[in-house]
Amino acid sequence: MAEVIVLTGFMGSGKSTVGRLVADALGLLFVDLDAEIERREGRSIPRIFAEGSEADFRRVEGRVLEEVLAAADESGFVLALGGGTLTQVAARDALRGRARVVFLDTPVEVCWSRARHSQRPLATSEEDFRSLAAGRSTSYRETADITVSTEGLSRGQVAKRVLEAVKRG
């Protein structure tokens, strides 16, 4: 099985930006799970939520995650998960033994400043945002093989720390 590095963390933690940098440095393909869901579904994530429910979205997300991970038998890649992917036990189970999971531990204030003006369906108020972040923190920490604190670091510095941690094993 080829090398698969998975970045997780709350919305606005930098998973997609850092993931691209890490993939480039390693010469691997970068896959953004949210973008892949939108491509396969032919509609945006806010639209998927609007036309169904969060549970409907999580079912689609789980299926696409499994399909993306199945490709790991052929080639390695860096995968940025959605902020809520690891709330699903099936997603956590799917990653075990198939990928190295890196948690980008980012202060919630930073995440909120990045996400508050986005079209993200669950970023409605700062209070709800903080509550959601707190609720997901355990899933990130329990699933991660590696935790990288992003506090006070540039995207490039975070990518460098991820690369160093992955190389150390």
**pLDDT tens column, 75-124:** 889 999 999 999 999 999 999 989 999 999 999 999 999 888 776 666 67
* pLDDT value at residue 149: 97
* pLDDT value at residue 121: 64
Percent of the chain surpassing pLDDT 70? 95
* pLDDT value at residue 123: 63
* pLDDT value at residue 120: 64
Q: pTM for this structure?
A: 0.93
**pLDDT averaged per 10 residues in sequence order, the chain, 169 residues:** 89 96 96 96 90 90 94 85 94 93 96 80 80 94 96 97 92
> Sign of the CA dihedral 44, 45, 47, 48?
positive
